[in-house]
Structure 1
Amino acid sequence: MRGPVLAIDQGTSGTKALVICPERGVIGSGSSPVRPRHGPRGLVETDPAELIGSVLEAGRMAVADAAEPVAAVGLANQGETVLAWDPANGRPLTGAVVWQDRRAEGICRELAAHAEEVRTLTGLPLDPYFAAPKMAWIRRQLTREGVVTTSDSWLVHQLTGAFVTDAATAGRTQLLGLHDVAWSSRALEIFGLSDERLPAVVDCAGAVGTTTAFGGETPLTGLLVDQQAALLAQNALEPGQAKCTYGTGAFLLAQTGGRASSGSSGLVSCVAWRLGGRTDYCLDGQVYTAASAVRWLTDLGVISGATDLDPVGASVPDTGGVTFVPALAGLAAPWWRSDLRGSVTGLGLDTTAGHLVRALCEGIAAQVVALADAVARDLGAPLTTLRVDGGLTGSSLLMQTQADLLQRPVEVSALPDATALGAGVVARLGLDPRLTPSRATPAWQPSAVYEPRIAPEEAAERIAGFRAAVDSLLERP
Structure 2
Amino acid sequence: MENKYILALDQGTTSSRAILFNQAGDIISMAQKEFKQIYPQPGWVEHDALEIWVGQSTVAHEAITRANIDSTQIAGIGITNQRETTVVWNRETGLPVYNAIVWQDRRTAHYCDEIKAQGLEASIRSKTGLPVDAYFSGSKIKWILDNVEGARELANAGKLAFGTIDSWLIWNYTHGEVHVTDVSNASRTMLFNIQTLTWDKDLLELMDIPASILPEVRSSSEIYGYTHESMLGSRVPLSGIAGDQQAALFGQQCTRPGMVKNTYGTGCFMMMNTGVTPIISKNNLLTTIAWQIGDRVEYALEGSIFIGGAVVQWLRDGLGMISKSSEVNELAGQVKDSDGVYLVPAFAGLGAPHWNQDARGSLFGATLGTKSAHIARAALDSIAYQTADVLKAMEADAGISIPELRVDGGASVNPLLMQFQADILGTDVIRPKITETTALGAAYLAGLAVGYWKSIEDVQSQWQLDKRFSSQMSAEGSGKLLKGWHRAVEATKTWANHEAD
Which residue matches 1:43? 44
Compute the displacement of 1:341 (Å): 4.1
Alignment-mate amino acid for residue 95 of structure 2? R
Pick from 157, 174, 192 the counterpart of residue 190 of structure 2: 174
Instruction: Work out whether residues 375 and 382 of structure 1, in 8 Å CA contact, stay in contact via their aligned partners in 2.
Output: no
1:255/1:282 contact within 8 Å kept:
yes
**Inter-partner Cα distance in structure 2 for 1:190 and 1:271:** 23
Alignment deviations for residues 64-101 of structure 1 (CA, whole Å, 9 cap, x no partner): 23222322111101112223333333323333332223
Mapped partners of 1:30, 1:351: distance in 2: 44
Match of 2:220 among 182, 196, 204: 204
- 1:448 is displaced (CA, Å) by 1.1
* Amino acid aligned to 1:55: Q
1:62 is matched with which residue? 63
Q: Percent identity?
A: 33
**Deviation, structure 1 residue 406:** 1.4
* Letter in structure 2 aligned against 1:248: T
Is there any run of 5+ residues in structure 2 with no aligned partner, and where? 152-159
Give the partner amino acid of 1:233.
G
Q: How far 1:369 sits from its partner (Å)?
A: 0.8
Could you say which residue in structure 1 is the equivalent of 2:273? Answer: 255
For residue 193 of structure 1, what is the aligned residue in structure 2?
A: 209
Partners of 2:62 and 2:313 in 1: CA distance:
26
Q: CA deviation at 1:21?
A: 1.4
| Shift in CA distance, 254/457, structure 1 to aligned 2, threshold 3 Å | same
Deviation at 1:296, TM superposition (A): 4.5
1:389 to 377, 385, 408: 408
Matching residue's letter, 2:17 = K
1:135 aligns to 2:176 (yes or no): no
Shift of 1:423: 0.5
CA shift digits 1:302-349 (9 cap, x unpaired): 444432331232244433554333334433322333x33431223667
Residue 485 of structure 2 aligns with which residue?
466
Q: Which residue of 1 aligns with 2:90?
A: 86
Conserved? CA contact 1:114–1:190, under 8 Å:
no
1:158 corresponding residue in structure 2 = 172
CA contact (8 A) 1:233 1:442 kept: no
The offset of 1:18, in angstroms, is 1.8
Contact kept, 8 Å, 2:403 with 2:427, in 1: the verdict is: yes
> Which residue of structure 2 aligns with residue 407 of structure 1?
426
1:132 partner SS: helix
**Any idea what SS the aligned residue of 1:107 has?**
helix
Specify the alignment match of 1:101 in structure 2: 105
Residue 268 of structure 1, aligned match among 274, 286, 291 = 286
Q: Partner of 1:111: helix, strand, or coil?
A: helix
For structure 1, which segment, 6-15 or 410-419, has the greater mean C-alpha deviation from structure 2 after superposition? 6-15
Deviations 1:233-259 (A, max 9, x none): 111111111111112321111112111
Question: Residues 142 and 357 (structure 1 numbering): CA distance in 2 closer, same or farther, change over 3 Å?
Answer: farther
CA apart distance, 1:444: 2.4
1:379 corresponding residue in structure 2: 398
Cα distance change, pair 443–180 in 1 and its aligned pair in 2 (3 A): same
Change (3 A) 1:45 1:329: farther
> What's the TM-score once normalised by structure 2's chain length?
0.87
Deviation at 1:286, TM superposition (A): 1.4
Are residue 118 (structure 1) and residue 162 (structure 2) matched? no
1:294–1:410 Cα change, 3 Å: same
1:296-335 to 2 correspondence within 5 Å?
296-300=314-318, 301-319=320-338, 321-335=340-354
Classify 1:127/1:304 alpha carbon distance in 2 versus 1 (closer, same or farther; 3 Å).
farther
Q: Secondary structure at the match of 1:154?
A: helix
- What root-mean-square deviation, in Å, do the aligned CA atoms of Structure 1 and Structure 2 show? 2.6
Contact kept? 1:261, 1:269, Cα under 8 Å: yes
Looking at structure 1, the residues matched to 40 and 371 of structure 2 have their Cα atoms a distance apart, in angstroms, of 29
2:264 aligns with 246
Deviates more, 1:70-79 or 1:20-29: 20-29
Greater shift after overlay, 154-163 or 219-228?
154-163
SS of equivalent to 1:42:
coil
Larger gyration radius, structure 1 or structure 2: 2
Number of matched residues?
476
TM-score with structure 1 setting the length: 0.91
User: 1:7: Cα distance to partner?
Assistant: 1.0
Letter in 2 for 1:164: V
Structure 1 residues 472 and 22, CA, compared in 2 at 3 Å: closer, same or farther?
same
